[in-house]
Amino acid sequence: MSLDVEAIVQKMMSSASTAFGEKWSQVEDFAESEFKALATSMVEISRNVARHELGQGGYDLPTGKALFRMHRLTLEQAFVAVTAMVLVAVQSALDAILGVLAEAFSELVDLIL
Amino acid sequence: MLLMVKSVLASGVMLATLGMCSSVQIIAPYDASLEQALSERNEEFVELVAALESDLSDGVPAYAEYEPRYIALAARLETASTRARLTSLGAAEPVCALPEMMRARLEARLGASALRTIAAGSTQDEADEDTVRGCTARLMSNVQEQFSNFTSMHYCASVSRPEDSLAQQAWDRRCPDGRLMLNTLVLETASGQMKQTLEYAWAVELAKKPSGEES
């Protein structure tokens, strides 16, 4: 499966209702745009790490991992900000969603996830 | 002080929710000083990033050179965050689930594409401390964490892992991914998140301004 934003977003949305459980209705309205932002970030980071390995700019893997963690933190905070969910519940749901992504997109496993 | 806070809260804006629940929300009142402070912090951060970007042409600038500016901005962000918490103290603002009317004003200000979507209409009755914190206060808390991460990116790119074992532990806590790179691409990505959240916090505060007073 190719590493493109739409495919990642679809995979996230399909696993999110299970991951968020009864809280999904609070999150669903804005989840897609947030997931799209995270997926875009994932693809960009992956590409930049690959570019660096080829000596074509970008940045190295540790930097890519740090940037991804920052983006994930922003996403967690956004979910907490617009819902009454506690951070640990949001983190748990995102862990589950990213776990599904890791199974579907092996390229991400070796890189940032 | 308590009386003053209660007085401020009593004048809080009441807005009918236009969403599913049709209930009434009491949101934290508009705070002109806070709005101005957020605008100024945003400008300061943009200037800081621009200075860092300029210095990057000669390699990664020493973290120590920037640390005083980081500490100063962190202190001013803390002041704004504290003010946002006090302003929203006791207002049953249901997190950032703002009424439709405010969302429309936010979109007009920032543009729909730049705006992080806000769930509108839903209300939370939970009275825990986290729920009653206002939207601006929550966003400012996020900004502070993002700023901490931003400064850590610079630190981990500039400061080598020390030889001393105690100092190593501190370095490892701040740099869990090890030594990082800092170039314009990294800087743009690392600063973008905070800029967006800070601008968003400002726009949320501005959206509370009573109609007819907006400049």
Token pair 């300061």 is found at B44
Q: How many domains does chain A have?
A: 1
pLDDT surpasses 80 at A98: yes
Contacts of A81 in chain B (CB under 8 A): 95-96, 135, 138-139, 142
Q: Is B16 helix (H, G, I), strand (E, B) or coil?
A: strand
- Give the closest residue to B151 by CA, choosing from B125, B178, B175: B175
Residue B87 or residue B82, greater confidence: B82
Q: How many domains does chain B have?
A: 1
pLDDT at B120: 35
Q: What is the pLDDT of residues B151-168, one digit of tens each?
A: 999 999 999 999 999 999
Nearest-CA distance from A30 to chain B in Å? Answer: 6
Strands B24-26, B14-16: pairing kind: antiparallel
pLDDT at A113: 60
pLDDT at B110: 58
Q: Which two tokens stand for residue B83?
A: 């003010």
User: For residue B212, is it within any domain?
Assistant: no
Instruction: Tell me which chain A residue has its CA closest to the CA of residue B112.
Output: A33
Q: What is the pLDDT of residues B188-209, one digit of tens each?
A: 999 988 888 888 888 888 877 7
Nearest-CA distance from A1 to chain B in Å? Answer: 26
- Give the closest residue to A112 by CA, choosing from A66, A73, A65: A65
Specify which residues B14 forms β-bridges with.
B26
ipTM of the complex: 0.82
The residue of A82, A85, A111, A113 whose CB has the most chain B CBs within 10 angstroms, and thus the best one to mutate to test that interface, is A82
CA distance B175 to B18: 46
Give the CA radius of gyration of chain A: 14
Domain that holds residue A91: 5-110
CA distance A49 to A65: 10
Q: Which two tokens stand for residue A98?
A: 């990213």
pLDDT surpasses 60 at B7: no
pLDDT at A26: 72
Nearest-CA distance from B150 to chain A in Å? Answer: 9
Token pair 């709005």 is found at B35
pLDDT at B20: 30
Interchain pair B177, A62: CB under 8 A: yes
Domain that holds residue B159: 2-207
Interchain pair A83, B119: CB under 8 A: yes
CA distance A8 to A13: 9
